[in-house]
Amino acid sequence: MNNKVSAIIITCNEAGQIERCLKSLSWCDEIIVVDSGSTDGTVDIAKRVADKVYLEEWKGFGFQKQSALDKATCEWVFSIDADEAVTAELSGEILQAVKDDKGTAGFYMPRRNLYGSKWLRFGGQYPDLVLRLFRREAGRFTENTLHERVIVKGECGRLRSPIMHYAFKDLSSMIQKLNDYSTLAAEQMFSGGKRVSALAPLIHSISLGVKDYILRLGFLDGREGFNVALLKSLGVYFKYAKLLELHHKQGSSFR
């Protein structure tokens, strides 16, 4: 059986971290980057390391990742984000998994999330299982503009070693991501005809905050755990508040 692996990454202005990601993929047989209008040197960095670099207009996360998947040629595909990296332990486990080839269609793996200089352990931040390794013919990305995921036909296993996610550089970068992602999420819900009550932003925000900070023990991660739980709950608040705002601008009624 073919046990070769294609790595796929989508980028846009990731010059600060794409090199770390790409260098951690030296074990892959093929590295494919699909960029959407970077102006910070990301493409130049990618061309020095990746096997194939494509320039395409932004189509939304799901469509963009599917475009990268369509360009892969190996039996197995490893999907990774620009702010992530693979350890030697994980690459070894991946290569052993595809070599053994027991008919599994894909593999989940834990993900470790970094805030500043601290690796988070609680609040839903670990093990944070993600499906990233799958057979090319068995997987396809959803068409979501945000929070896309790969759907795999067949049984999926689980690897032990984590993928490293350099998620939150600092408070400012988290706030910027919160604003951008809540806008995308609101637009996605609006396009899908989603309607909510005027209390939805508050209810969903408080619910997530209690769940992550208290029930999932986010408080054990100290100040960083509090910041992440707070900003995640604010992100949910803004998502639903922006959805209400979109309906208001359209003169729609709420349920």
Q: What is the pLDDT of residues 239-249, one digit of tens each?
A: 999 999 999 99
Percent above pLDDT 70 for the chain: 98
- Check residue 254 and report its DSSP letter: P
**Domain match, 75 and 175 both:** no
**Domain match, 225 and 152 both:** no
Peptide bond into 127 cis (omega under 30): yes
Least Cα distance to 70 among 45, 27, 109, 34 occurs for: 34
Residue 1 has pLDDT above 80, yes or no: no
Listed residues 103, 132, 167: the one ending a domain: 167
Task: Give dist(CA 240, CA 135) in Å, integer.
Answer: 36
Tokens of 92: 């070894």
Burial class (CB in 10 A: 0-12, 13-18, 19+), 66: buried
Q: Count the domains in the chain.
A: 2
The answer to whether 154 touches 105, Cβ cutoff 8 Å, is yes
Any domain includes 142:
yes
- Write out the residue range of the structural domain in which residue 215 sits: 170-250
Residue 250 has pLDDT above 90, yes or no: no
**Domain match, 27 and 136 both:** yes
**Domain match, 54 and 125 both:** yes
**Domain match, 82 and 160 both:** yes
Of 20-34, 46-60, 91-105, 239-253, the range with the lowest mean pLDDT is 239-253
**Domain match, 102 and 186 both:** no
Residue 253 has pLDDT above 70, yes or no: no
Of 142-146, 159-163, 183-187, 249-253, the range with the lowest mean pLDDT is 249-253
| pLDDT band, very low/low/confident/very high, at 69 (cuts 50, 70, 90) | very high
Give residue 254's pLDDT: 45
Give residue 252's pLDDT: 52
Listed residues 167, 199, 234: the one ending a domain: 167
Any domain includes 255:
no
**Domain match, 116 and 236 both:** no
**Domain match, 142 and 198 both:** no
Burial class (CB in 10 A: 0-12, 13-18, 19+), 120: buried
**Domain match, 108 and 232 both:** no
Residue 255 has pLDDT above 70, yes or no: no
Any domain includes 13:
yes
- Give just the sign of the alpha carbon dihedral 168, 57, 18, 110: positive
**Domain match, 21 and 46 both:** yes
Rounded to two decimals, what is the model's pTM? 0.92
Give residue 117's pLDDT: 92
Any domain includes 90:
yes
Percent above pLDDT 90 for the chain: 91
**Domain match, 47 and 126 both:** yes
Give residue 2's pLDDT: 77
**Domain match, 140 and 66 both:** yes
